[in-house]
Structure 1
């Protein structure tokens, strides 16, 4: 009996769809922090428990134009802030009257955290989940938020601001239709 092409495609596509649905499902209430973000993956949330995203990334069309070069995560003053991934602290100080911590990660990525009173020194090696400081009030537009940023740092390409939520694989997956052949 010949195999019908539609049934063989269905046999492959349906299990793949359900596998993606399980992997991309939102976290279950009470699940461990970062549970929706590639458990054991290289990056996790910088605040625990998993914080609400108050203001999303809004990349400007040109570097000099206004935009939101990171995400704002709801927090509370005094809340511990942890490294999103392993790396080396390259800055722990003040920028424009705001306390900031910056960490370089393998692959030419840099994460930034503000307003955070540093508990780490420049040159310190950190792992995912290492406490790097304490959240303080004072972020413009969201008094008790952590502004979490991500940049590519070169490696032969120009510096570029990126959405830090991409590190967590929490951005929605959009499937495009396959063009008929």
Structure 2
């Protein structure tokens, strides 16, 4: 599967306990979209940047368990593991949660910090998503906006042209 793969719409619509929501409230502006590299080792934008303000509350996007709350390369990061091997990351976020804590989509996990490079807003949340496979020791970056689908997309079959023009 490629890095541009979509999340299964059925996952986000499975029920109230598994739905995802925006990590910033109210609904933020997407400052920079997901732009994965063609190959995993090349540079790219493996998440989305959401415009916010310094000190704004950041919420878990969905239910899961906090698996990291600390600094990476000097920036504060929180990571949450969700069902199906999905992991969301939130940066730069001054975490208020400890590793091992179970969260819901409405759990406040910290405050947005300033300092995300390339952000035109006073502060931006870099929201990332990846699917991890322990069986294959791999990870696949996905567009986190795919988590926000509320209803599955259904395609109707195309009927072939009938003789007579109908």
TM-score range, shorter chain: 0.7 to 0.9
Q: CA RMSD in A?
A: 2.3
Q: Give the superposition deviation at 1:164.
A: 0.1
Written as runs of structure 1 = structure 2, the 5 A alignment for 1:56-135 is 56-135=33-112
Q: Give the superposition deviation at 1:180.
A: 3.1
| 2:133 paired residue number | 154
Equivalent pairs, count: 143
Give the strand-richer structure, 1 or 2. Answer: 2
**Counterpart Cα distance in 2 of 1:155 and 1:128:** 25
* Structure 2, unaligned runs of 5 or more: 1-11, 162-166
Q: Provide TM-score, normalisation by structure 2.
A: 0.78
SS in 1 for 2:133: coil
| 2:9 paired residue number | none
Q: Provide TM-score, normalisation by structure 1.
A: 0.72
**Counterpart Cα distance in 2 of 1:136 and 1:103:** 18
Q: Give the superposition deviation at 1:169.
A: 1.6
1:35-64 Cα deviation digits (max 9, x unpaired): xx9694610000000000010001111111
**Counterpart Cα distance in 2 of 1:155 and 1:96:** 25
Determine which structure has greater relative contact order: mean sequence separation of CA pairs < 8 Å that are 6+ residues apart, divided by chain length.
Answer: 2
Give the helix-richer structure, 1 or 2. Answer: 1
Structure 1's 71 and 176: CA in aligned 2 closer, same or farther, altered over 3 A? farther
| 1:165 paired residue number | 145
Q: Give the superposition deviation at 1:156.
A: 3.3
* Structure 1, unaligned runs of 5 or more: 1-36
1:114-170 Cα deviation digits (max 9, x unpaired): 000000001111111100000000001015100000000115353100000000028
Which structure has the larger Rg over C-alpha atoms? 1
